[in-house]
């Protein structure tokens, strides 16, 4: 099949679950022999075409948000008047099916053109209103009238767009239910973002020790990892609050991997915990799996996840998980089975869970092993197979209608 993925955010340059999972899906489909093209924002103010593995990326001119922090890596890029470029690309590629990722500006244009040309469209929603504000430099209060207006308008736009598509998916049951509750007229089907079980995998004690030395992590205490965007909606303020509370009870080290607008090093310094924390910044695709293997526990305090791809990566690496009991996180973190859920927004409860795992190596091993079993259901190969089947069905239905 000729498949065209349309992503308003794509990795590189954007760091984020939907941007990265979209690229992994594109590569997975291309490895199955499909002709895969992608439309995504460029890294500059120019249109461009590039080849990424067996995929071709058509990039439309874009700009960075004015409110992004200077010097921070992996900011989002926003397409600027991409209508003509999208239409020309669809005419050139002549796809059998178009797959819209996190429907937004470029996606809306692609849907309009696809409908005119009779091309079937599949859409996957990766986002909720909180995810659209990652570069707002303060925590948004959901009780604010301004936010309520924004939230209502957000869902109105997303649902209107999704209702025009032939098939709709989302990463989890909660994500599908959320679409229904906000007015989607058709049934959304859960399809996991998936995780590459060949890339993310558990390690041996010898390799873990070697990797700790490589990343200059202490050998005499467990290490805890947060990986992802350093932005307000990830609730890293809760983790920063929890670190000194937990350190008062037991020794451990914390690793932050990723980048974003929040100045976490300054917050850690203010909490007087700098000697217990390592910042790796953004790392490349070959290094990220090694960081997972170098640590002992994974933490995600975010309350705005429609799946949490980093949780899947951590579980596939054999790590016990700690996550906020919010949004779709309980679909991945099974309390007492492969990790623990903490009270959302509570630094003290998160600290208690950290101490519980740091002080109990047999428990870490038990939870990590169970996590390995559960994450098999999220294998990337299964995700690719599911989308292949969906694409074939909508193409067949389109031919019947024609």
pTM for this entry: 0.93
97-101 and 321-324 as β-strands: parallel, antiparallel, unpaired?
unpaired
Phi, psi (rounded to 5 degrees) for 288: -55, -50
- Could you read off the pLDDT of 15-42 as tens digits, one per residue? 788 899 999 999 999 999 999 999 999 9
Q: Which residues contact 123 (CB under 8 A, 6 or more apart)?
A: 99, 100, 103, 107, 111, 161, 162, 165, 167, 168, 169
d(CA 178, CA 276): 39
How much is the pLDDT for 24?
A: 96
In three-state secondary structure terms, 11 is: coil
What is the band of 14 on the pLDDT scale with cuts at 50, 70, 90? Answer: confident
Q: Which residues contact 39 (CB under 8 A, 6 or more apart)?
A: 4, 5, 6, 7, 57, 58, 59, 60, 82, 85, 86, 89, 106, 110
The proportion of the chain whose per-residue pLDDT surpasses 70, expressed as a percent, equals 95
The domain covering 205-378 belongs, at the CATH homologous superfamily level, to Glycogen Phosphorylase B; (3.40.50.2000)
d(CA 197, CA 365): 19
171 close to 310: Cβ distance less than 8 angstroms: no
On the question of pLDDT at 110 being above 50, the answer is yes
Q: Which residues contact 214 (CB under 8 A, 6 or more apart)?
A: 290, 294
Query: Domain map of the chain by residue range?
Result: 2-194+380-401, 205-378
Instruction: Report, as an integer, the average pLDDT of 318-343.
Output: 98
How much is the pLDDT for 308?
A: 93
**CA distances for 125 relative to 7, 177, 192, 258, 388, angstroms:** 11, 12, 11, 23, 17
When computed from its CA atoms, the radius of gyration of the chain, rounded to whole angstroms, is 21
What is the band of 69 on the pLDDT scale with cuts at 50, 70, 90? Answer: very low
CATH classification code of 2-194+380-401: 3.40.50.2000
Give 171 or 43, the one with higher predicted confidence: 171
Instruction: Report, as an integer, the average pLDDT of 218-236.
Output: 94
In three-state secondary structure terms, 279 is: strand
On the question of pLDDT at 70 being above 50, the answer is no
> How is residue 217 written in tokens?
């992590």
Question: What is the chain's mean pLDDT, rounded?
Answer: 93
What is the band of 148 on the pLDDT scale with cuts at 50, 70, 90? Answer: confident
272 DSSP 8-state letter: T
Q: Where are the beta strands (DSSP E) in 205-263?
A: 223-227, 253-257
Q: Is 359 exposed, middle or buried (0-12, 13-18, 19+ CB in 10 A)?
A: middle
Instruction: Report, as an integer, the average pLDDT of 345-349.
Output: 98
Of 132-136, 148-152, 245-249, 377-381, least confident by mean pLDDT is 132-136
d(CA 166, CA 115): 10
Instruction: Report, as an integer, the average pLDDT of 375-395.
Output: 98
d(CA 162, CA 121): 10
d(CA 307, CA 326): 11
d(CA 302, CA 285): 23
């Amino acid at each position: 099949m000729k498949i065209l993925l349309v992503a308003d955010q794509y990795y590189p340059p954007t760091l984020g679950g939907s941007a990265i999972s979209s690229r992994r899906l594109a590569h997975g489909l291309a490895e199955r022999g499909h002709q895969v093209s992608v439309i995504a924002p460029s890294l500059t103010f120019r249109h461009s075409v590039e080849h990424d593995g067996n995929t071709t990326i058509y990039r439309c001119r874009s700009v960075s948000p004015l409110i992004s922090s200077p010097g921070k890596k992996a900011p989002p890029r926003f397409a600027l008047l991409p209508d003509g470029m999208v239409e020309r690309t669809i005419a050139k590629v002549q796809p059998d099916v178009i797959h819209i990722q996190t429907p937004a500006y470029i996606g809306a244009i692609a849907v309009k053109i696809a409908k005119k040309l009779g091309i079937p469209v599949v859409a996957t929603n990766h986002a909720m209103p909180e995810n659209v504000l990652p570069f707002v430099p303060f925590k948004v209060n959901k009780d604010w009238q301004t936010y309520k207006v924004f939230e209502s308008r957000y869902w109105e736009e997303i649902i209107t767009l999704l209702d025009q598509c032939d098939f709709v998916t989302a990463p989890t049951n909660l994500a599908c239910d959320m679409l229904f509750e906000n007015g989607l007229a058709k049934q959304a089907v859960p399809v996991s973002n998936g995780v590459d079980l060949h890339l993310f995998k558990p390690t041996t004690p010898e390799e873990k020790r070697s990797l700790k030395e490589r990343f200059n992590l202490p050998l005499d205490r467990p290490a805890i990892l947060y990986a992802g965007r350093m932005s307000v909606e990830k609730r890293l303020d809760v983790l920063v609050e929890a670190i000194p509370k937990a350190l008062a009870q037991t020794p451990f080290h914390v690793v932050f991997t990723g980048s974003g607008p929040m100045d976490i090093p300054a917050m850690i310094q203010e909490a007087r915990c700098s000697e217990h924390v390592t910042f790796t910044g953004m790392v490349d695709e070959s290094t990220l799996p090694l960081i997972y293997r170098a640590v002992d526990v994974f933490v995600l305090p975010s309350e705005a996840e429609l799946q949490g791809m980093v949780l899947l990566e951590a579980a596939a690496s054999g790590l016990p998980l700690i996550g906020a009991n919010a949004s779709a996180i309980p679909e991945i973190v099974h309390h007492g089975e492969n990790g623990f859920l903490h009270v959302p927004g509570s630094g003290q409860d998160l600290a208690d869970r950290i101490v519980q795992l740091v002080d109990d190596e047999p428990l870490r091993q038990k939870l990590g092993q169970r996590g390995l079993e559960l994450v098999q259901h999220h294998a990337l190969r299964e995700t690719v197979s599911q989308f292949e089947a969906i694409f074939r069905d909508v193409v067949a239905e389109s031919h019947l209608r024609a």
